[in-house]
C-alpha cells in the first residue's frame, strides 16, 4: 500500500482544513496516510479524521497574531511586545521543524496545502517522491501572489486547483508542472430538504472584507423596505465582526440580521434547514464550497458574478447578479419571496445538481492522479 504525507499548517477550523479531512476520507481505504501539522491549535482536529490517519504535530502551540493585534489596539504595549516576540520564536521554529520533517519523509507521495510548504518541499524533499501542490485561494490578479505561488511549485509534479477558471489561468504559467482541476467535495446531501416559504436568508463565511458582508447588509436594508420581516442568518467570525455589528445598528437592522458567530456543521444545519435562500456577496471565491453545501439542503443560491467560484457552480445565470449592483440583488430576492414556487423549483434543481460534488463521485479523480 502506497503512503501519502499531507502537510498542513494546522487542523483547526478553516476551508483548507475541511479539504484535508475530505481528502483523507477519499483516500484512506487505498493508501496509508499521515498528516504532518505544523501547529496544534486545538486539543483535537476541528474536522473528522478516522483512526486510519496518523496525525503528528511539530509544534504544540499556535501563533498569537490576534492576541498581539488586540493588545496593541488596546495600547497594552508590553503585552503586545511579548506576543510579538512569541510569534517571532514560533516562526523560527516553524521553518526549522518543517525542514527537518520534510527531509525525513519516506512516503511515495507528498501533498501540500500552503505555498510555505511548497517552497520547502521543492527544496528539501527526496527527489523520488511524487509531489502534489494544491491551491485553495483565488489570486485576485495579485501579481506578487501569483509569482510567489508559481515559483513555489517549480519542482512539483502536479498542481491541483479547485476550479476550471484557476486551471486555465495557471496551466501555461507553471512550466513542466501539470495543472489538474479536481473540485472540492461534500460528504452527503440532506435526507429531507425543506422548501420553506418564509423570508429567511442565510450566509456563511469568514467575516472579512473579501466576503462582501458590508454590501450584504445594504441589500438587506433595501429588501426590508418591501419585506419588513426579512431575516438574515449570518454565520461566521472574523476581523470585521465589530464593523458589521456597528453597521447593523446604524442601519437599524437588529431585528433583521442575526449574527450567530462561528458554528460547527451540526449547529449550522439546525439553522439552515429553516431558511429559504442562500445569499453570497463575496468579491472573490476560488470555488465556493458553501454554495454546494447550501444546495445539499435544497436551497437556491444567489450571488454576485464577481466571484469566479459562484460563476462556476451556479448554473442558472439568473441567480448571478451582475456588476455588484445591490439594488438588483435586493430586487431579485424580493421577487423570489413573492414567488415561492420559484424558490422551490431552483432549490430542487440545486439539490440534484450538487450530487456531482459528493465525495464518492470525486474520489476516482484523485485515485487516477495518484496511481
pLDDT at 287: 80
CATH superfamily of 3-182: Glycogen Phosphorylase B; (3.40.50.2000)
Residue 281 has pLDDT above 90, yes or no: yes
pLDDT band of residue 14 (cuts 50, 70, 90) is confident
Burial (CB count within 10 angstroms: exposed 0-12, middle 13-18, buried 19+), residue 12 = middle
Which of 17-26, 69-78, 140-149, 258-267 has the least mean pLDDT? 69-78
| CA dihedral (93, 83, 237, 262) positive or negative | positive
Give the pLDDT score at 178.
Answer: 96
Query: Residue 264: which pLDDT band, with cuts at 50, 70 and 90?
Result: confident
Apex CA 23: angle with CA 301 and CA 298, to 5°? 20
pLDDT band at 238 (very low <50, low <70, confident <90, very high): confident
- Tell me the average pLDDT across 223-227: 97
Radius of gyration of the chain (CA): 22
pTM to 2 decimals?
0.88
Q: For residue 178, give every residue at least 6 positions away whose Cβ sits within 8 Å of its Cβ, in sequence order, or none.
A: 157, 158, 159
pLDDT score, position 64: 86
Cell numbers at 62, concatenated: 499556535
Q: What is residue 181's DSSP assignment?
A: E
Phi first, then psi: what are they for 178, rounded to 5°? -90, 130
Task: Give the per-residue pLDDT at 322.
Answer: 95
The pLDDT assigned to 70 comes to 87
Domain boundaries, the chain: 3-182, 200-357
Residue (of 85, 61, 81) closest to 71 by Cα position: 81
Q: How far apart are CA 18 and CA 46, in angstroms?
A: 8
Question: Distance between CA atoms of 114 and 118, rounded to whole angstroms?
Answer: 6
Own/partner long-range contacts of 120-127 (Cβ < 8 Å, ≥24 apart):
120/95, 121/7, 121/155, 121/156, 122/152, 122/153, 122/154, 122/155, 122/156, 123/155, 124/99
- Say how far apart CA 135 and CA 286 lie, in whole Å: 9
* Topology annotation, domain 200-357: Rossmann fold (3.40.50)
| Fold match, 3-182 / 200-357 | yes
The answer to whether the Cα torsion of 243, 19, 200, 321 is positive or negative is positive
Q: How do residues 323-354 score in pLDDT, each as one tens digit?
A: 999 999 999 999 999 999 999 999 999 999 99
What digits encode the pLDDT tens for the residues 296-306? 999 999 999 99
Rounded to the nearest integer, the mean pLDDT of the chain is 94
Amino acid at each position: 500500500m502506497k503512503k501519502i504525507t499531507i502537510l498542513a499548517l494546522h487542523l483547526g477550523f478553516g476551508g483548507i482544513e475541511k479539504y484535508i479531512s475530505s481528502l483523507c476520507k477519499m483516500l484512506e481505504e487505498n493508501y496509508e496516510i499521515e498528516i504532518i501539522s505544523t501547529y496544534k491549535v486545538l486539543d483535537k482536529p476541528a474536522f473528522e479524521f478516522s483512526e486510519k490517519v496518523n496525525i503528528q504535530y511539530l509544534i504544540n502551540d499556535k501563533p498569537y497574531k490576534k492576541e498581539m493585534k488586540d493588545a496593541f489596539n488596546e495600547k497594552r504595549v508590553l503585552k503586545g511586545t511579548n506576543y510579538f516576540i512569541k510569534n517571532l520564536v514560533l516562526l523560527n521554529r516553524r521553518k526549522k521543524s518543517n525542514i527537518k520533517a520534510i527531509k525525513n519523509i519516506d512516503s511515495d507521495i507528498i501533498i501540500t496545502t500552503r505555498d510555505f510548504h511548497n517552497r520547502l518541499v521543492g527544496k528539501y524533499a527526496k527527489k523520488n517522491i511524487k509531489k502534489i501542490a494544491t491551491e485553495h485561494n483565488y489570486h485576485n490578479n495579485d501579481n506578487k501572489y501569483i509569482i510567489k505561488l508559481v515559483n513555489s511549485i517549480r519542482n512539483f509534479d502536479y498542481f491541483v486547483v479547485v476550479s476550471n477558471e484557476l486551471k486555465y489561468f495557471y496551466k501555461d504559467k507553471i512550466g513542466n508542472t501539470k495543472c489538474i482541476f479536481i473540485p472540492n467535495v461534500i460528504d452527503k446531501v440532506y435526507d429531507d430538504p425543506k422548501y420553506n416559504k418564509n423570508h429567511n436568508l442565510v450566509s456563511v463565511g469568514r467575516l472579512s472584507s473579501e466576503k462582501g458582508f458590508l454590501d450584504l447588509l445594504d441589500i438587506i436594508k433595501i429588501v426590508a423596505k418591501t419585506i419588513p420581516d426579512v431575516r438574515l442568518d449570518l454565520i461566521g467570525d472574523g476581523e470585521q465582526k465589530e464593523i458589521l455589528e456597528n453597521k447593523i445598528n446604524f442601519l437599524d437592522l437588529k431585528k433583521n440580521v442575526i449574527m450567530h458567530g462561528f458554528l460547527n456543521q451540526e449547529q449550522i444545519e439546525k439553522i439552515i434547514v429553516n431558511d429559504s435562500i442562500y445569499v453570497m456577496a463575496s468579491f472573490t471565491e476560488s470555488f465556493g464550497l458553501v454554495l454546494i453545501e447550501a444546495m445539499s439542503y435544497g436551497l437556491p443560491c444567489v450571488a454576485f458574478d464577481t466571484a469566479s467560484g459562484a460563476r462556476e457552480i451556479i448554473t442558472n445565470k439568473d441567480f448571478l447578479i451582475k456588476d455588484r449592483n445591490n439594488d438588483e440583488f435586493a430586487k431579485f430576492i424580493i421577487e423570489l419571496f413573492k414567488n415561492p414556487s420559484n424558490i422551490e423549483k431552483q432549490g430542487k434543481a440545486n439539490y440534484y445538481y450538487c450530487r456531482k460534488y459528493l465525495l464518492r463521485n470525486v474520489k476516482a479523480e484523485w485515485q487516477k492522479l495518484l496511481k
